[in-house]
Amino acid sequence: MQPHDKLFTPGPVEVSPKTWVAFSRPMISHRGDDFKNLYRAIHPGLQKLFNTKQPVFLSTSSAWGVMEASIRNLVNRGVLNCMCGAFSDKWFDVAKRCGKNAEPLQIDWGKHIDHKAVDRHLATGKFDTVTLVHNETSTGVMNPLGEICRVLAKHPDVALILDTVSSFSGVKIEMDALGIDVMLTGAQKALALPPGFSLFSVSEKGFARAEKIANRGFYFDFLEFKKQQTEWMTPSTPSIAHIHAVQSKLDEIFTEGLEARFDRHVRTNALVHDWVRHSGFDFFAEEGYRSKTLTCVKNNRRIDVLKLARDLRSKHRLVIDPGYGKIQGKTFRLSNMGDETEETISHLLACLDDVL
């Protein structure tokens, strides 16, 4: 592959030469047997990653397409948006723009969503849907999914929409066992594919809800996806290049082994955490709720973060993120998601030391 600046940003992340080869395979028709065979071939692997018996869908959109679609397909009475960072905060705004009754459960950035607060809000009976971002990529917080799902289980009429964009395939998430009604992920984060594509799955409860909801539109209608999937097709022409890349990525994931992949993320994440402590920085995310796929470093040393990122890029051709939105400069983010290894993460940390 041609020389380039390597991304350690938490999305998009670096795409491997192997993935690019798959991405540029010759084109096939999306209404022919080649496509049906491709979708059929990748489906069991996708179900394994989602830990679901439900159909897994291929959406030619970035994750936001499916995040908005989930609101349009599921929300009837009202949606509770659990908010603790840029992506989860934005979901509230999106729900309102879709004309839905939406209420925020706002937590300070850097803190996690407390299941007891979710329980209190659901007890009002105002909500039939909850949105939750598993891994808040902007703050480096990983929310306690198991605890929150146990609360949801007490409210069988409430559906849970879960964003796993930056945790999917990096940590184990059991869609069916946890009772998740829509689980979605994007291409360019934990899966290390080029951006512009998403995967999602919907529970029986989610489909039943969608059937009762008017104005679901066409492009993102879950029932349309469901109907087409029984024939191994998608409602409209998908990004076939992405699906080839998904196939290649699944091969890689199951060759490495899921547990080995999760362990690799734990080890590379621990390397970053050690570096943060040794170099006198702190964590932006509270202890006990820190992501395994990225680290949001608190700039307690008050360094010039933009200069750090600039120097790292010009001297070592490595790209890091200088903090998301309102916490730019007060934080910076280091990603260990996707294909990174102890070797590549150690190299990043050594280069950071060099420019610091």
Contact footprint for ligand PLP (CB under 6 A): 11, 62-64, 87, 133, 137, 163, 165-166, 186, 189, 195
What is the closest distance, in whole angstroms, from the C-beta atom of residue 228 to ligand PLP in the complex? 22
Whichever of 62 and 346 has its CB closer to ligand PLP, that residue is: 62
Whichever of 319 and 355 has its CB closer to ligand PLP, that residue is: 319
Whichever of 148 and 351 has its CB closer to ligand PLP, that residue is: 148
Separation between Cα atoms, residue 315 and residue 7, nearest integer Å: 14
Whichever of 28 and 98 has its CB closer to ligand PLP, that residue is: 98
What is the closest distance, in whole angstroms, from the C-beta atom of residue 230 to ligand PLP in the complex? 27
What is the closest distance, in whole angstroms, from the C-beta atom of residue 81 to ligand PLP in the complex? 13
What is the closest distance, in whole angstroms, from the C-beta atom of residue 294 to ligand PLP in the complex? 9
What is the closest distance, in whole angstroms, from the C-beta atom of residue 101 to ligand PLP in the complex? 22
What is the closest distance, in whole angstroms, from the C-beta atom of residue 176 to ligand PLP in the complex? 22
Whichever of 186 and 322 has its CB closer to ligand PLP, that residue is: 186
Whichever of 74 and 199 has its CB closer to ligand PLP, that residue is: 199
